[in-house]
Amino acid sequence: MRAIGTNGVPDRIAIDKSGANFAGLQSLNVILKFAGVGRIIGIVQSKYLNNIVEQDHRLIKRITRPMLGFKDFHSTAATLAGIETAHMMRKGQLDQTGISAFKPFAALAA
């Protein structure tokens, strides 16, 4: 609910075959329907569609595991955002969208 409140209602969500995720999204669709939002979330259940997202987290896990955790939420958010920005720069995703690589780093310093 928090992610939807921040980013809006997605068109569809890819999940694995977990029954708990499916039930949660179905109940969320019922809430959206009765709230009159006008659209519901499409649920795509596939065993392998989520693998791309999960594989992308491997880099972060490898970097943060030796740190043995974080003490402060602000430092956690700043560190993870910096790692993600560097990862996006390495993959060339910032150049394609026209986003300057300096802006995310400047936001982290603020």
Choose between 85 and 96: higher pLDDT: 85
Mean pLDDT of the 53-73 span:
77
| Same domain, yes or no: 25 and 66 | no
| Same domain, yes or no: 39 and 82 | no
Total structural domains in the chain?
A: 2
Per the structure, the complete domain to which residue 19 belongs is given by: 2-52
| Same domain, yes or no: 13 and 41 | yes
Residue 81 to residues 30, 78, 84, Cα–Cα distance (Å): 34, 5, 5
What's the rounded Cα separation, in Å, for the pair 5 and 37?
A: 12
| Same domain, yes or no: 27 and 62 | no
Point out the least confidently predicted range of 11-20, 37-46, 48-57, 84-93. 48-57
| Same domain, yes or no: 69 and 89 | yes
Has residue 15 got a pLDDT over 60? yes
Contact by Cβ (8 Å): 32, 9: yes
